[in-house]
Amino acid sequence: MIQIDVESGLISGARQVASPNFDDRPAKCCAELIVVHGISLPPGEFGGEWIDRLFTNTVDPAAHPYFPEIVDLRVSSHLLICRDGELVQYVPLSKRAWHAGVSCYRGREKCNDFSIGIELEGADDIPYTDAQYEVLASTIRKLQAAYPSLAGAPIVGHCEVAAGRKTDPGRSFDWERLFSMLAHDGMTE
């Protein structure tokens, strides 16, 4: 079971992998949006250390032909949910993770400033696992309970805040299933 320490922004029950790719949110700015992503490294492959390495700037460009394209990226996310449901935390929830890039939601730019980024290990055209949906729904409920600014906050895909640039979590992500799971516990989108 996960527990959120609001003061530190850390989640007990999550594997902690500290990313250097974060900074402070702007003054008087808090998380008011949850952005769901999909990621696999190398593309279409699951498991292994590569997502951790991407978010900690330790990708070996010689390890895969795709890696020279991403070795210089400085990106992160607050959380990752692996295929087996393991929850990994890279950035404290109170800090600004670098997950959305150039982004806009309802006319408000720079979504990293006011969002929590949750990566799902997956691909646009491969169904996500039951364990991922369960951990995602549980995590969102815990976030909404711990942070008043997230209670009832929009939950969107990376594709919605970076339209035309990003497609994740992709057509394989079942939004209806997620919202049904959240509504079942009295939470809505």
pLDDT digits (tens, 9 = 90+) for 15-27: 999 999 999 999 9
Decide which of 1 and 104 is more confident: 104
E strands, 45-129, are 79-81, 87-89, 95-97, 104-105, 108-109, 115-121
Residue 188 has pLDDT above 50, yes or no: no
Kindly list the structural domains of the chain, giving each domain's residue range(s) and its CATH number in brackets, ordered by start: 3-184 (3.40.80.10)
- As a whole number of angstroms, the distance between CA 67 and CA 128 comes to 24
**Cα first-last separation, the chain:** 23
The Cα-based distances of 24 to 12, 29, 31, 34 in angstroms read 21, 10, 12, 17
Assess whether 69 carries a catalytic annotation.
no
Residue 12 has pLDDT above 80, yes or no: yes
Say how many C-beta atoms besides its own lie within 10 A of residue 20's C-beta: 12
The Cα-based distances of 54 to 10, 39, 98, 139, 155 in angstroms read 20, 11, 12, 23, 24
pLDDT digits (tens, 9 = 90+) for 51-97: 999 999 999 999 999 999 999 999 999 999 999 999 999 999 999 99
Q: In the prediction, which pLDDT does 185 show?
A: 63
Catalytic option among 119, 121, 134, 189: 119
pLDDT digits (tens, 9 = 90+) for 134-184: 999 999 999 999 999 999 999 999 999 999 999 999 999 999 999 999 998
The Cα-based distances of 169 to 36, 119, 120, 125, 186 in angstroms read 7, 8, 8, 9, 24
User: What SS3 class is residue 103?
Assistant: coil
Tally of helices (H runs) and strands (E runs) in the chain: 4, 12
